[in-house]
Structure 1
Amino acid sequence: MRTGSISRKTAETAIAIEVNLDGTGSYDVSTGIGFLDHMVEQFSRHSLIDVTMKVEGDLHVDQHHTTEDSAIALGQAISEALGDKAGIGRYGSAYSPMDETLARVALDISGRPYLVWKAGFTQEKLGEWDTELIEHWFHSVAQTAGITLHIELLYGTNNHHICEAIYKGFARAMRTAVEQDPRKGGAIPSTKGQLGG
């Protein structure tokens, strides 16, 4: 089993995260931000990556530290679980429809983190979660997991649908990228013989 476990404690947050890349999509998520919980649960269910995430953050200040630090730790746990990335698909992409909304996500677990974000929201909050933090969540995951990540909203009007379509697209793309391909015989998917350098 390819698993990763991260404990992270600062003056702003205390976080414990475990992931299993070879899971079934089971989750146990508690960040103190309901809509963020909902999105991480969607990610787990549709990627088939098991996620346990417990976060205690300084929500009396705002949601920034909890959002950012949980994403940093999740990316670190995924990176740890991937190890040297031998045998993985590496690339993944998905079109993700949700009612009137269509999102497109493409990614490369390259070890070279980068986020292209072509999406936006027309309201300031989803539930109690500040929508300006959603792009930052993806940036933080991409940075620490070493993912080149392209996210586009092709069209859509309902902000809940937009966010959920993006997270489900990310999940489906990650499912493809982290799965091991038996035809590769455990080889690292790069002509350089390594990823991320």
Structure 2
Amino acid sequence: MRSCEITRDTKETAVKLSISLDGTGIVEADTGIPFFDHMLSAFGRHGGFDLKVNVKGDLLVDYHHTIEDVGIVLGQAVLEALGDMKGIERFAHIAVPMDEAISYVTLDISKRPYLVMNGEFLGGLPFPDTLVEHFFYSFCTNAKITAHLSFSGRDSHHMCEALFKAFGVALKTASRVDSNKGIPSTKGVL
């Protein structure tokens, strides 16, 4: 099983996280931010990842540190769980609708971190909209993944949830192992 457990303690947060890339979609998320827990559950469930996240953060200051640090630790855990990346599919492109909203996620597990995010939330999330992009930036930077994300719709909750679901499905697809493949690169390394 490709899995990893990481604990990260700072003056702002204490994060304990474990992930199994070859799980069944069982998620336990307790970040102190119920909507963020819901998004992490959507990511893990639709990605088929077993994910446990427990955070004690300085939520009285704001939600920024907690959301950022979960992105950092989750990215680090995914990178470690991927191991040598031998045989992974590497690329994925997924579209996921949720009612009137749709999200598109294109991934390259390349060890070349980059994030492009297009779309506009319309307010109504329980934290600043910019923290969604910051979460994915923190994740991609630490997992060393290139991701292009785009979304549209009329309900911010639906757009955000479709985005997390699509990211989970795309990561599952890109990290899938084909035992007949070697390192998926013309260079022979990622």
TM bin, normalised by shorter chain, reads over 0.9
Distance (Å, rounded) in 2 between the aligned partners of 1:182 and 1:193:
16
The alignment's TM-score, normalised by the length of structure 2, stands at 0.97
Deviations 1:114-157 (A, max 9, x none): 0001012111x42x33222001000000000011000011x311
Quote the residue 1:181 is aligned against.
178
Quote the residue 1:3 is aligned against.
3
Distance (Å, rounded) in 2 between the aligned partners of 1:49 and 1:14:
22
Distance (Å, rounded) in 2 between the aligned partners of 1:117 and 1:137:
11
Distance (Å, rounded) in 2 between the aligned partners of 1:103 and 1:81:
26
The structure 2 residue matched to 1:190, chosen from 168, 185, 190, is 185
SS of alignment partner, residue 70 of structure 1 = helix
Shifted more, 65-74 versus 129-138: the winner is 129-138
Distance (Å, rounded) in 2 between the aligned partners of 1:20 and 1:171:
13
Distance (Å, rounded) in 2 between the aligned partners of 1:80 and 1:182:
19
The alignment status of 1:34 with 2:39, answered yes or no, reads: no
Aligned pair count reads 190
Contact 1:33 1:129 in 2 (8 A): no
1:83 Cα deviation from its structure 2 partner: 1.0
Structure 2: runs of 5 or more not aligned: none
Deviations 1:55-89 (A, max 9, x none): 10000100110010011000000001001111111
Distance (Å, rounded) in 1 between the aligned partners of 2:139 and 2:106:
14
One-letter code aligned to 1:178: S
Structure 1: runs of 5 or more not aligned: none
Distance (Å, rounded) in 2 between the aligned partners of 1:132 and 1:116:
13
SS of alignment partner, residue 129 of structure 1 = coil
Distance (Å, rounded) in 1 between the aligned partners of 2:172 and 2:91:
10
Quote the residue 2:150 is aligned against.
152
Distance (Å, rounded) in 1 between the aligned partners of 2:5 and 2:184:
24
Quote the residue 2:128 is aligned against.
130
One-letter code aligned to 1:183: N
Contact 1:36 1:129 in 2 (8 A): no
Contact 1:93 1:172 in 2 (8 A): no
Contact 1:84 1:194 in 2 (8 A): no
The alignment's TM-score, normalised by the length of structure 1, stands at 0.94
SS of alignment partner, residue 89 of structure 2 = coil
SS of alignment partner, residue 173 of structure 1 = helix
Give every structure 1 segment of 4 or more consecutive aligned residues whose post-TM-superposition deviation is greater than 6 Å.
Answer: none
Correspondence list, 1:81-92, <5 A: 81-92=81-92
Quote the residue 1:100 is aligned against.
100
